[in-house]
Structure formats: structure tokens, C-alpha cells
Amino acid sequence: MNPIKVGLLGLGTVGTGVVRIIEGHQEDLQRQTGSPIEVVKILVQNMSKLRNISVDPAKLTENAWEIIENPEIDVIIEVMGGVTGTKEYLLSALDKGKHIVTANKDLMALHGPEILAKAAEKDCDVFYEASVAGGIPIIRTLVEGFTSDRIIKIMGIVNGTTNYILTKMSQEGAAYLDVLKEAQDLGYAEADPTSDVEGIDAARKMTILATLGFHANVSLSDVSVKGISKISKEDILYGKKLGYEVKLLGIAENHNGHISVSVEPTMVKSSHPLSSVSGVFNAIYIHGEAVGETMFYGPGAGELPTATSIVADLVAVVRNLKLGVNGRTMLTAYKEKKIKTDEQISSKNFILLHVEDKAGVLAQITQVFAHYEVSLESVLQHPNANNPKAEIIIITHDAIQASIKKVLMEFESMDVIHAIQSVYRVEG
């Protein structure tokens, strides 16, 4: 029984997990695929570095081309990260007929269509389950589980770092910068947390999910992105009083072939399942025309959860090899991309204003909403001992985004409004 030979690009946290699972689950993998699976070469940055896993030094290399050009290697698993150089490696590997399993969300969000087109040309598999939500099998669910349905909405918490920060702010009343430092100390946030806290990481993942869910080539530039760095304790406190939790949500919607994709802090009704997802966990909610509402929950990162998704993809590649159907199971984008305009996007909104504390102010504010045909669900005036001005909290009904922008522009010019303190989408 000839083994399936694997080249591994990267031996960091996730790469180590991949080696552990392949070596530790060898009997199970053989029974599932009909062949032994062997990692024969591993790309590392430093061959002399001490590691927390025992690997035969003869398998290590600092030269990626030793793996890509090795004719005996059937499958390349990429967990090294990066975009430009990594793209070159993977395209070259596909040219040589090698199948790819990757966890690289940045690469797939930016260059996925090009890589998948090359794979189709060469009858190769490219699987990337681990690129979104770690141990949650969400990509396979979209590609296989919803084949008979039409997806209307994908909404979820797809970044564990920001969810950890917002959970701590909500549960402990802590300030953003204090919790960010704690997350960095615990290893949940990078030394430069920009990609996480400004929503870039989540936007890349939503690009992938929207492309798969809506069968159109959604680009990162199509995603409206707003991070969590401006969220205050006050926002979270008022949200809780009104029955909402603040979450950084990725939201992709498809109405009659017109798509909108955003990443933004959102007030989620406490009765909605996403509101109770805490810590570093991820959860993705999918609404299909036929099935209705479903939600998938689990660890979004980590050595073994992510490695589990990678090895599941590896098993799928090997099974396809046995059947001779590599390159035929990938879902390609076949629909024209139509991105919604501000006139086509609607949602409920939470708006916190600091205003003059005098008679008639609320009437002026509600007149502006009426002028732009924005109806209000609730209005709350709340005393704040720390603020000499009055605070008004408004929840709108579903409103066209273009109309909300006009309302806010008019508020900017009104003397009685001292600050538009916060504006958030409302869900649930």
C-alpha cells in the first residue's frame, strides 16, 4: 500500500498540530483513505530551533522549492502565512500537479479566484476549510450542506480576539485599552493588533464566506469595515440596559442577487444566540430560504482545532485521489457580482447623542428623522452625572443606509447637538 506523501510549509503552532494529528491518528486516517499518510518534508525558518515536537531533522528544510519540486510529494499543506511569496509557491505547486490544503485566509481572500482557476486548469484540489473559524467546518457546510438551498444571510463572530475583548468589557466593565493589553499578555492579540481590532481579519474571512455562500467573486474591497477601537464602556452599558450586547459581526446579505458585506460593531439583541457567544469562541449564523436559521459554534483558532480542519481537508484530497476526481469538487463563482448601494442597504440603528439639556431639543431631532422618512422604535433620555449635557439614545426601525447618513450629516450642523457619540447597527 503506497503512502500518500505530504509536504508541509510551516511548523509553527498550527503546523505542529498537523504533524501531531497525522502521526497520532495514523490508523484512523488509513481506514478512512485506504492509504498511509506521511509528512516527508517540512519547511521551517530555522532548522536548529528547539521545538515542542520531535521531528526527524532529515525532514526539515529551509528551502520551499525542495518541497514544491519534489516529484514524490502528492499534497502540500500550507500553514506558513504571508501572501505574495506564498502565492508564488502554491501556483508553482499547482503547475506541477500537486494538491493544496491551506489555512491562509489572507491569501484566499485576496487571490482565491486566481488560485482556484489554476487548480481547475490542472485538475488539482485546493481546500481551505481552516482559513475561516478554525475548528468549525463552515466552508464544507456552505459548499456541501447548502447545495440545495439559497443563502440569504451569513452573519457571525469570526474573530476571537475582538470577541474576547468585548466579552471582558461587557462582563467586567473594563476599558478597551486595558482589556487589549490583557489579551496581548495572554497571547490572544498580536503585539500589533490592528488587523484584529480594526476588523481587517474578519473582513478577509467574510470575503471568503460571501464568495462561497453567494457564488459570486466578492473582493475584500467590497467589504465595508469598521473596528472596535472606538467602542466605549458607555456604549456597552447603554446597550445592556436596552437588552443588547455589542459584538463585532461580519454580515453578508443577498437580496435578489444584490450583495452587501460588512464588518462592524453591532448591537445584538440579548435573545439572539450570537449575543451569548463569549471569549475567543466563534459562531456563524446562516439563513437559507429553505432551511431557515442555523448556527455553527466552536473554537475559532488554536493548534489542534485548526489542525483538525486541515487534516479533514487532507482526507478529502486523498479520497478524491483514490476516485480520480481531483479538481472536480470545488465550487466556483458563477454569478455576476452586484454590490448593493447605500440606497439598497437597510438595518435598524442605535444612535447615542450628547445634546443641549433644554426644552424642544428632542422635537428638533425627531423632525430630522421624519424629514428623511426614518421611523423610530424607541427614544430614551438618560441622565449622566459625568456629562452635563443630556444624553439621548435612539433605536430606529429598519432604515435605508443613505437616509441614516443624511440624518447624521444634518445632526453635525445642529447647534443643539454637541456630539454624535455612537452609531451602531442593530441585529436580532
Q: Residue 192 corresponds to which amino acid?
A: D
- Contact predicate 288/149, CB 8 Å: yes
Place of cell 448556527: 295
DSSP class of residue 101 equals: E
The C-alpha cell that represents 302 in the structure block: 488554536
Q: How far is residue 363's CA from residue 372's CA, in Å, rounded to a whole number?
A: 15
Q: Residue 91 corresponds to which amino acid?
A: L
Q: Which residues are catalytic?
A: 205
- Contact predicate 350/240, CB 8 Å: no
Q: Where are the beta strands (DSSP E) in 151-278?
A: 151-157, 223-225, 244-255, 258-269
The C-alpha cell that represents 52 in the structure block: 515542542
The C-alpha cell that represents 26 in the structure block: 495514523
Strands 417-427, 258-269: parallel, antiparallel or unpaired by DSSP?
parallel
Q: Using only C-alpha atoms, what is the Rg of the chain?
A: 24
Q: How far is residue 332's CA from residue 382's CA, in Å, rounded to a whole number?
A: 52
Place of cell 454590490: 339
Q: Residue 79 corresponds to which amino acid?
A: V
Q: How far is residue 121's CA from residue 119's CA, in Å, rounded to a whole number?
A: 5
Place of cell 486595558: 178
